[in-house]
Amino acid sequence: MVSPAASPATGQSSGQKGVILSGMRPTGRLHLGNYFGALQNWVDLQEDYRCIYTVVDVHALTTVETPQDVADIQPNISEMVMDWLAAGVDPERCTIFVQSQVPEVLSLHTLLSMVTPLGWLLRVPTFKDKVRQMDETEETVNYGLVGYPVLQTADIILYKADTVPVGQDQLPHLELAREIVRRFNHRFGDTFPEPQAKLTEVPLIVGLDGQSKMSKSLDNHIDLASTPDETSQRVLTAFTDPQRTTRNIPGRPEVCNVYSLHCTFSDPADTNTVYDECTSAARGCVDCKRHLAASVNTFLEPLRERRREFEQRPDYVKDVLNEGGKRARSIARQTLDEVFEKMGLGSYVDARP
Ligand code: TRP
Ligand code: SF4
């Protein structure tokens, strides 16, 4: 039997279930929380969908302030893409590219802004949070930040993606994307599918501080690219049950983040042993953390192995991104051509061969 319909634009399998698009801002190296929150899911989805994954560098500009922020963009892109590839995102099976390499998204953003009421954007909860966080007001905040979800909609529909794997926090953006699509389709004729969010089931990855989820800004994380030594050292700094001030006091695994991490990274049988030995004071916290470090290192080893392979090929990441950019751009040009025609602007492609 022939393989499932190959997409003319990419030559890749169209997948059984449709087109996935997801994006991440270029924040540099990713950590275990990012892996379970998104990456693992991206890797799994490659089996059934045609997947397009993008580094949204233009979105990152909404919060760039200092020359250092600007200088960080390129290195952050390549560090992050290396983590994608190390985690198993496969450039042979999906399209990986940098948002700004497909400038058609900027045009589509402008065109979509013509069908997006300002009120919709000002009501988005992530917008309000961001304005507060940045110590801005609706008067002083940059226009780009107001339009952030419009650009995100352009990211998605430029490739006519129908499914968008995201975390809970992005649901309002997807709702808005659907509203923009409905308006567009109603005014200019059926053009885009309404993109649906696909929520990731995320095991909560607690930070080493035991206070909150793993995050870079709280510095309670373990990088996917950290060496075995760095990993062990980070794990040894983890907080444990605060009531266990000496080794002969039994611990309470249910309030201990080291235990919670064991549940993700250690074998289930081991996890039971941790529970029993902790509650009977048969194991000390330092040993328990060494044990956890070993489990995390076992987990990270295949990622390190893959990273080692392509770190020896200096142009590898660049080549992957260029290849993905070309493929993405050829789809983007077709879509924008259709949009130009429908909006009365004539042909995009003929005017820009
Ligand atoms: N807003 C998303 C985030 O902060 C990133 C993003 C930009 C995105 N464009 C996208 C996610 C398109 C999914 C689809 O996480
Ligand atoms: Fe936590 Fe392990 Fe110490 Fe128990 S023994 S409190 S699970 S670190």
pLDDT in tens, 234-289: 999 999 999 999 999 999 999 999 999 999 999 999 999 999 999 999 999 999 99
**pLDDT value of residue 352:** 87
Answer yes or no: do 45 and 169 share one domain: yes
* Residue 215 resides in a domain: no
Answer yes or no: do 291 and 177 share one domain: no
Rounded mean pLDDT of 292-296?
A: 98
Q: Is the dihedral of CA 104, 95, 148, 220 positive or negative?
A: negative
Residue 244 Cβ < 6 Å to ligand 2? yes
**pLDDT value of residue 202:** 75
Residue 152 Cβ < 6 Å to ligand 1? yes
Answer yes or no: do 101 and 175 share one domain: yes
Q: Distance (Å, rounded) from C-alpha 295 to C-alpha 172?
A: 37
Rounded mean pLDDT of 36-60?
A: 96
Residue 292 Cβ < 6 Å to ligand 2? no
* Residue 163 resides in a domain: yes
Q: What is residue 13's DSSP assignment? A: B
Atom of ligand 2 nearest to the CA of 241: 6
Higher pLDDT, 305 or 314: 305
> Whose alpha carbon is nearest atom 4 of ligand 2?
278
Report the domain count for the chain: 2
**E strand residue ranges, the chain:** 19-24, 50-55, 94-98, 163-166, 196-199
Q: How confident is the model at residue 304 (pLDDT cuts 50, 70, 90)?
A: very high
Answer yes or no: do 290 and 336 share one domain: no
* Residue 1 resides in a domain: no
Rounded mean pLDDT of 35-57?
A: 96
* Residue 221 resides in a domain: no
Taking all residues of the chain, what is their mean pLDDT, rounded to a whole number? Answer: 93
Residue 291 Cβ < 6 Å to ligand 2? no
Nearest ligand to residue 145 Cα: 1
Q: Which two tokens stand for residue 247?
A: 């080794």
Per residue in 134-173, pLDDT (tens digit) is 999 999 999 999 999 999 999 999 999 999 999 889 999 9
Per residue in 179-232, pLDDT (tens digit) is 999 999 999 999 999 999 999 777 779 999 988 899 999 999 999 999 999 999
**pLDDT value of residue 1:** 28
Atom of ligand 2 nearest to the CA of 275: 7
**pLDDT value of residue 204:** 79
* Residue 44 resides in a domain: yes
**What CATH number is attached to the domain comprising 286?**
1.10.240.10
Atom of ligand 1 nearest to the CA of 24: 5
Answer yes or no: do 65 and 199 share one domain: yes
Mutation choice for ligand 1 from 152, 174, 181, 199, CB with most ligand atoms inside 8 A: 152
Answer yes or no: do 104 and 248 share one domain: no
* Residue 211 resides in a domain: no
Per residue in 107-127, pLDDT (tens digit) is 999 999 999 999 999 999 999
**What CATH number is attached to the domain comprising 43?**
3.40.50.620
Q: Ligand 2 centre and the CA of 335: distance in Å?
A: 55
* Residue 218 resides in a domain: no
Q: Which domain holds residue 58?
A: 19-204+314-351
Answer yes or no: do 295 and 334 share one domain: no
**E strand residue ranges, 122-227:** 163-166, 196-199
Answer yes or no: do 331 and 282 share one domain: no
Tracing tokens 């289930």 back to the chain, one arrives at: 268
**pLDDT value of residue 211:** 84
* Residue 7 resides in a domain: no
Higher pLDDT, 168 or 336: 336
Sequence-distant (≥ 6) Cβ neighbours of residue 140 within 8 angstroms: none
**pLDDT value of residue 15:** 54
**pLDDT value of residue 316:** 96
pTM, entire model = 0.92
Residue 37 Cβ < 6 Å to ligand 1? no
**pLDDT value of residue 140:** 92
Answer yes or no: do 37 and 63 share one domain: yes
In the chain, pLDDT over 70 holds for what percent of residues?
A: 95
* Among the ranges given (39-43, 44-48, 209-213), the one the predictor scored with the smallest mean pLDDT: 209-213
The 3-state DSSP class for residue 84 equals helix
Q: Distance (Å, rounded) from C-alpha 284 to C-alpha 208?
A: 17
Give, in order, the Cα–Cα distances in Å from 51 to each of 61, 89, 91.
Answer: 25, 10, 10
Residue 155 Cβ < 6 Å to ligand 1? yes
Sequence-distant (≥ 6) Cβ neighbours of residue 238 within 8 angstroms: 208, 209, 210, 257, 258, 261, 289, 292
Residue 58 Cβ < 6 Å to ligand 2? no
